[in-house]
Chains A and B, each alone.
Chain A
């Protein structure tokens, strides 16, 4: 027997396959998934709460699934928007995987859901490697996290379809250098859109819902260089 064999197998092939299947199934029933990645404390939950409320007011059928390492109040906060919300505890796992998501959706996701927002586990390393069957991947960072964030987490920013800066009202006190931030994003993900938002001033209100709806309607989303082998 020959003892050495070439395998040439992608380690995450199983997840990629599950993600493809989920994307196909959800697209067929008219649901578009948005995968939201950020560090803890980025203000992701506050922004999502605002966007869910806006979507509901506009009559768009939305739902949110939030993944946490352990019990937190994210789901309670998101539920205040009045849309279906599900909290998933990952039991210490640092990211969601496509088959886990599919399992959580099958007996919960309302049939008429147009947009499903998935709040991934709070970190910018692990979730970047796992496709969840999303049509739009959004990376969020607050102005208080500094303009070097995209260089520290190149895979997360490099694979994003949209970059959202939160807490823009704090830009001045945090001495946030917007031009440098944009240049750093451009370096790892040329051409990706960067939008400033603030739940306090209302800046960028509706951007998440708007971009998600565009993706749902089949508009071409940004194609990151890093995703093109």
Chain B
């Protein structure tokens, strides 16, 4: 399963970005995964947790947005959901689709850094419980 390689690539890129931003931890990573990208989100979640353990990304949450396939036909200006397995024949003119504007994404869209570790907290006055 190449989800492990994908997870490693995600972790590498996020770690680099974190260093560039001076972040000390990562709270959340958002990915777009097209349904034709050939990546199984469940396996990816599993691998992501493994590769993040003990790194700057330890405990980071992975949020995956599944992107449905969409094909387009320039001659008749149509755009349609390809479905799975995809149908890349234009439902209007029966000719081949011109392009696949969506469905092959494998993109890190957004990262949220963890709150920087708080400075040593001032002692909170003890309150009586009653």
**Do A126 and B10 touch across chains, with their CB atoms under 8 A apart?**
no
Number of chain A residues whose Cβ lies closer than 8 Å to a Cβ of chain B = 41
Q: What residues of A have a CB within 8 angstroms of the CB of B9 in the complex?
A: 11-12, 14-15
**Do A187 and B96 touch across chains, with their CB atoms under 8 A apart?**
no
**Do A226 and B88 touch across chains, with their CB atoms under 8 A apart?**
yes
**Smallest CB separation, A95 vs chain B (Å):** 5
Q: How many A-B residue pairs have CB under 8 A?
A: 125
**Smallest CB separation, A221 vs chain B (Å):** 16
**Do B100 and A225 touch across chains, with their CB atoms under 8 A apart?**
yes
Q: How extensive is the interface on chain B, given as a class?
A: 35 or more
**Given the complex of chains A and B, what is the CA–CA distance between A151 and B85 in angstroms?**
6
**Smallest CB separation, A25 vs chain B (Å):** 23
**Do B86 and A158 touch across chains, with their CB atoms under 8 A apart?**
yes
**Given the complex of chains A and B, what is the CA–CA distance between A170 and B108 in angstroms?**
46
**Smallest CB separation, B29 vs chain A (Å):** 9
**Do B100 and A154 touch across chains, with their CB atoms under 8 A apart?**
no
Residues on B facing A (Cβ under 8 Å): 1-2, 5-6, 9-10, 12-14, 17, 21-23, 27, 31, 36-39, 71, 84-89, 95-101, 104, 106-116
Residues on A facing B (Cβ under 8 Å): 1, 3-15, 93-95, 97, 125-126, 128-130, 150-152, 154-156, 158, 184, 186-191, 225-226, 228-229
